[in-house]
Amino acid sequence: MPGTCGIFLRMSDSSLIGKRKLDHIEICAEEKLERITYSARTTLLECIELLPLYFPTRSIDKIETKIQFLSTTINAPIMVSAMTGGIDIARKMNRILASACQQLGIPLAFGSGRIMIEDPSTAPSFKVRDLAPGIPIIANVGIAQAEVLPVEKLKWLVEEMEADALAIHINFAMEAFQPEGNRQPATVVETILRIKSEVNFPIIIKEVGAGFSPQQLELLKQCGADWIDVAGAGGTNWIKIETLRSDPRTGMTVGPFNEWGFPTAASVMWAVKAGHEKIIASGGITNGLEAAKAMAIGARICGIALPILRKLLAEGEDAMLDYLKATIDQLKIAAYLCGISSVKQFSNVPFVLSGKLKDWISP
């Protein structure tokens, strides 16, 4: 395909999960953004205005961007969020992403490891530690699988990936419109409590683009998860993506739900109110200023996925790396303009809320 620099190749895969992963990559890479992202709903980060504490106190290149994440010092509070794994193109992508993350000193999250559990021969697509010895790596599995799998299988997944933590993703909205989706409920709180009690690695609870409501975040506080990733609405819209893979009947059903989800900014603020302290903001974050705003309202670190995937597959590895470097530079500039010397101090920067965000977070 033109513009993919030889990375993206459409190919067949005999497994149902493998075909789905290929579909997801192809749709995210090729479709117009308006067909795979939210239209009317935004992250609402545009409703936040930072109010500088002081005049700049140090030069931009002296701004401290390092923070602690999963017992590791990372060079910036930016994470390459979960994308893929388990198929040949995913192996190539994950190795390129791992190399870039190691170079920048930032974390990498894998896509769902369900395919590896069901078919261990797919493990090489998740093996990148040789390229990324010094960064946090996050394994990933869905709540539907976490509920029924023996904990030993989850331990095996983390060990085989040489990961530092396990993300358990909660994606009921996505599954509802996925052609092969699981439409059954899950015992979310009980499952996470059980797993947490039997493992010695950190657990991250994440959405996949629809965000968490205040009541859901209150329930998740009971789980004892180490981190919460709100993955809010405003960026990639998995309901739309799954609808593109579905038959016409699903297209007739999906209409009222195309904007379903809770904006990223609102979910972060609700998470703070619910008592969560270690919060990852993802879902529609595209630049360093948006990351700075998310950190000002309570996030510790911010995740980005779709812009990285599209940059990599359309323009190549160097362009993707430049995009990440620019994002970190933007974060530094935001800190400079806010008169702080470290990105950790964004939590002290005053801000003004306006527009729809005030409505979302009002009692």
Domain ranges of the chain: 16-361
**Is the pLDDT score of 11 beyond 60?**
no
What is the rounded (10 degree) CA torsion for 330, 333, 339, 340? 60
d(CA 343, CA 357): 23
> Does the structure show a pLDDT above 60 at 10?
no
Distance between CA atoms of residues 123 and 8, nearest Å? 20
What tens digit of pLDDT does each residue of 259-291 get? 999 999 999 999 999 999 999 999 999 999 999
pLDDT at 252: 84
Residue 15, pLDDT score: 79
Per residue, what are the HEC states of the chain? CCCCCCCCCCCCCCCHHHHHHHHHHHHHHHCCHHHHECCCCCCCHHHEEECCCCCCCCCHHHCECCEEECCEEECCCEEECCCCCCCHHHHHHHHHHHHHHHHHCCCEECCCCHHHHHCHHHHHHHCCCCCCCCCCEEEEEEHHHHHHCCHHHHHHHHHHHCCCEEEEECCHHHHHHCCCCCCCCCCHHHHHHHHHHHCCCCEEEECCCCCCCHHHHHHHHCCCCCEEECCCECCECHHHHHHHCCCHHHHHHHHHHCCCCCEHHHHHHHHHHCCCCCEEEECCCCCHHHHHHHHHCCCCEEEECHHHHHHHHHHCHHHHHHHHHHHHHHHHHHHHHCCCCEHHHHHHCCEEECHHHHHHHCC
Confidence grade of residue 248 (pLDDT, cut at 50, 70, 90) = confident
Which has the closest alpha carbon to 296: 349, 337, 256?
349
159, pLDDT greater than 70: yes
Q: Select from 314, 212, 255 the least CA-distant residue to 8.
A: 314
Residue 9 pLDDT level (bands cut at 50, 70, 90)? very low
The pLDDT of 119-125, averaged and rounded, is 95
Q: Return the number of other C-beta atoms located less than 10 Å from residue 65's C-beta.
A: 20
pLDDT band at 14 (very low <50, low <70, confident <90, very high): low
What is 16-361's CATH topology? TIM Barrel (3.20.20)
| Beta carbons of 208 and 242 less than 8 angstroms apart | no
| Average confidence (pLDDT) over 165-182 | 95
> pTM higher than 0.85 for the full model?
yes
User: How many Cα atoms within 13 Å fall on the side-chain side of residue 46?
Assistant: 8
Share of the chain above pLDDT 90, in %: 92
Q: CB within 8 A of 52, min separation 6: which ones?
A: 337, 338, 339, 349
pLDDT at 245: 94
One-letter amino acid of 206:
K
